[in-house]
């Protein structure tokens, strides 16, 4: 039997060409349809935020739940009212199966802050659908990015040397992982130009609190696993990286004939928001020509508030700095800002020696004013992230962002006080911003310190199993298992924090009661 097409028409013999007239084109960018369907999307989003409290923070689903409800193949032709039908599936099938990061009861990880302005900025960006990989490809998008990274740097009180206006410069990427990798590749290529240096000689440094994104970046950049120094921290130093220990590690590597390359310091670690002492660490690194990068993914947003700017004392000596505006500055995922003191080193590492004619414009010279952002990141295709960040800064202002951060810090202080006031609990790290690390004490009667980790694992399980929330995440620091309450959702209010603490107390009381009964039974 002769093969046929999907529409039943017979295929032509090999070598022959049979032209089948296409169906009339669908209106793919029809302004009227965009307006009609756009209203439907906005209504769904507005209803979602209005009903956020109706959703459990995390769904109680088993793997495969959604795949079993959706067809195995995409439709050959769209069904009638396909868009409306798809939106119903979003509402009825997809949203109930999501972890709701915008829930006011989401206290896990770090926040993924949102705002109406940033959401609409994302929609506008998608509608324009530009690809600003060179200045010529989209002049306004490129220059807006240059403007907005300087705006943000000034709002965060970063050193002028990291800004375009001070001889440095910045760009907007997707994630911290990308930012660290870009900086590391620039540092690597600069160091490899030294006579006799090979990639096997290069050593990188971090603390045991540094996000695993750094070790992943080091692996991708070709740094040998054995040449990644993870320096231990201690509670007495508030889990900050010790300059003395860093100095000792670097000296040991120099004595072994190795080449110190890169230090990833952190302002606001994931586990406890520890802050590494930038000034002293830079003083240790400078004599060895070590590139110092600061990862301030979460805590960098707090720098909009003058009272937190001491966290980056000494930052004028940094080579690069990154933070995620999508974590706490209302910019929506994804929006990571990276600044460099010498962007030319990044361009030298990631730029192309042979420029394709299709990327060039005869009317644009090689003046330093022109920035081609394709040479500042790993990808050529880029998103126009600057538009939503520019809208956020314009529509909320620096003072509005300060109010947003301070409100969450205030709520974290409230949660911290409630922990302190309950003798059954203890704080496990100094609260710097809006993260509170705590745990339930294990009394000698219930097994003492030995049983503390298992006790708190069970407590977190019970807290997160509560249908109405809250949702928290754990950390293990210096062998101690603790609960993390990270206040930062845009929708969180004080009553959500009080309700979260009430759930923790109730679950702790129930857990302790069961353990005491079990101990009593054993004693009998």
pLDDT digits (tens, 9 = 90+) for 153-183: 999 999 999 999 999 999 999 999 999 999 9
**Where do we find the tokens 């459990």?**
56
DSSP 78: P
What mean pLDDT, rounded, does the chain reach? 92
Structure tokens at 47: 């209803």
pLDDT of 442 above 80: no
pLDDT for 358 equals: 57
pLDDT for 74 equals: 95
pLDDT for 20 equals: 80
Q: Is 158:311 a contact under the CB 8 Å cutoff?
A: no
- Averaged over 256-266, what is the pLDDT? 98
Q: Which helix (H) or strand (E) covers residue 265, if one does?
A: strand 259-266
Closest CA to 183 of 345, 370, 301: 345
In angstroms, the CA 341 to CA 160 distance is: 9
Closest CA to 499 of 513, 485, 516, 519: 485
Structure tokens at 337: 């800002």
* Torsion sign across C-alpha atoms 375, 377, 379, 385: negative
Lowest-confidence range among 95-109, 332-346, 441-455? Answer: 441-455
Closest CA to 426 of 435, 436, 434, 414: 436
| 70 Cβ neighbours under 8 A, 6+ residues apart | 89, 93
pLDDT of 9 above 60: no
In angstroms, the CA 462 to CA 106 distance is: 15
CA-to-CA separations, 385 to 47, 119, 333, 400, 405, in angstroms, rounded: 26, 12, 10, 20, 22
pLDDT tens digits, one per residue of 275-290: 999 999 999 999 999 9
pLDDT tens digits, one per residue of 118-139: 999 999 999 999 999 999 999 9
pLDDT of 73 above 70: yes
Q: Is 55:49 a contact under the CB 8 Å cutoff?
A: no
Structure tokens at 247: 């100095």
476: three-class secondary structure by DSSP? strand
Lowest-confidence range among 128-132, 355-359, 369-373? Answer: 355-359
CA 169 from chain centre, in angstroms, equals 21
Closest CA to 324 of 120, 214, 177, 491: 177
Would you place residue 365 in the very low, low, confident or very high pLDDT band (cuts 50, 70, 90)? Answer: low
Cα angle for residues 467, 473, 478 (degrees, 5° grid): 150
In angstroms, the CA 304 to CA 153 distance is: 9
pTM of the model: 0.92
Closest CA to 340 of 148, 159, 145: 159
Where do the DSSP E strands lie in 158-258? 169-173, 202-207, 228-231
pLDDT for 485 equals: 98
- Averaged over 481-510, what is the pLDDT? 97
pLDDT tens digits, one per residue of 294-340: 999 999 999 999 999 999 999 999 999 999 999 999 999 999 999 99
Closest CA to 409 of 307, 326, 332, 335: 307
Side-chain-facing half-sphere of 205: CA atoms under 13 Å: 32
């Amino acid at each position: 039997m002769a093969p046929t097409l999907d529409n039943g028409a017979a295929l032509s013999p090999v070598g022959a060409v049979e032209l089948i007239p296409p169906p009339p084109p669908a209106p793919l960018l029809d302004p009227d349809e965009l307006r009609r369907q756009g209203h439907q999307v906005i209504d769904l989003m507005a209803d979602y935020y209005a009903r956020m409290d109706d959703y459990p923070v995390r769904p109680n689903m088993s793997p495969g739940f959604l795949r079993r409800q959706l067809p195995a193949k995409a439709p050959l032709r769209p069904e009638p009212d396909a868009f409306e039908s798809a939106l119903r599936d979003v509402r009825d099938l997809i949203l109930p199966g999501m972890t709701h990061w915008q829930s006011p009861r989401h206290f896990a990880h770090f926040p993924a802050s949102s705002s109406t302005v940033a959401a609409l900025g994302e929609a506008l960006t998608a509608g324009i659908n530009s690809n600003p990989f060179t200045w010529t490809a989209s002049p306004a998008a490129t220059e807006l990015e240059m403007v907005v990274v300087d705006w943000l740097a000034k709002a965060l009180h970063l050193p002028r040397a990291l800004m375009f206006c001070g001889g440095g410069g910045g760009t907007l990427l997707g994630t911290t992982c990308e930012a660290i990798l870009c900086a590391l590749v620039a540092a690597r290529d600069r160091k490899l130009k030294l006579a006799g240096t090979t990639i096997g000689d290069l050593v990188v440094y971090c603390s045991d609190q540094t996000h695993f994104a750094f070790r992943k970046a080091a692996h991708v950049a070709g740094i040998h696993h054995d040449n990644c120094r993870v320096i231990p921290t201690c509670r007495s130093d508030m889990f900050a990286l010790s300059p003395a220990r860093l100095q000792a590690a670097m000296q040991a590597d120099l004595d072994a004939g190795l080449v110190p390359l890169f230090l990833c310091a952190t302002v606001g670690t994931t586990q406890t928001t520890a802050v590494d002492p930038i000034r002293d660490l830079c003083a240790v690194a400078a004599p060895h020509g070590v590139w110092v990068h600061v990862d301030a993914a979460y805590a960098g947003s707090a720098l909009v508030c003058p009272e937190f700017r001491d966290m980056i004392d000494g930052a004028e000596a940094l080579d690069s700095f990154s933070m995620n505006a999508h974590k706490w500055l209302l910019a929506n995922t994804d929006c990571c800002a990276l600044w460099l003191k010498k962007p030319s080193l990044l361009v030298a590492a990631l730029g192309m020696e042979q420029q394709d004619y299709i990327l060039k414009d005869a009317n644009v010279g090689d003046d330093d004013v022109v920035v081609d952002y394709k040479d500042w990141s790993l990808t050529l295709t880029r998103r126009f992230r600057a538009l939503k960040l520019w809208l956020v800064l314009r529509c909320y202002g620096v003072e509005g962002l300060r109010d947003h951060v301070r409100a969450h810090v205030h709520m974290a202080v409230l949660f911290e006080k409630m922990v302190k006031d309950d003798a059954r609990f203890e704080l496990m790290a100094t609260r710097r911003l809006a993260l509170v690390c705590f745990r339930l004490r294990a009394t000698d009667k219930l097994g003492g310190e030995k049983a503390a980790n298992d006790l708190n694992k069970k407590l977190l399980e019970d807290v997160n199993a509560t249908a109405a929330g809250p949702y928290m995440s754990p950390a293990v620091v210096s062998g101690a298992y603790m609960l993390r309450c990270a206040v930062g959702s845009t929708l969180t209010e004080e009553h959500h924090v009080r309700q979260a603490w009430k759930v923790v107390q109730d679950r702790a009381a129930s857990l302790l009661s069961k353990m005491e009964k079990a101990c009593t039974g054993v004693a009998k």
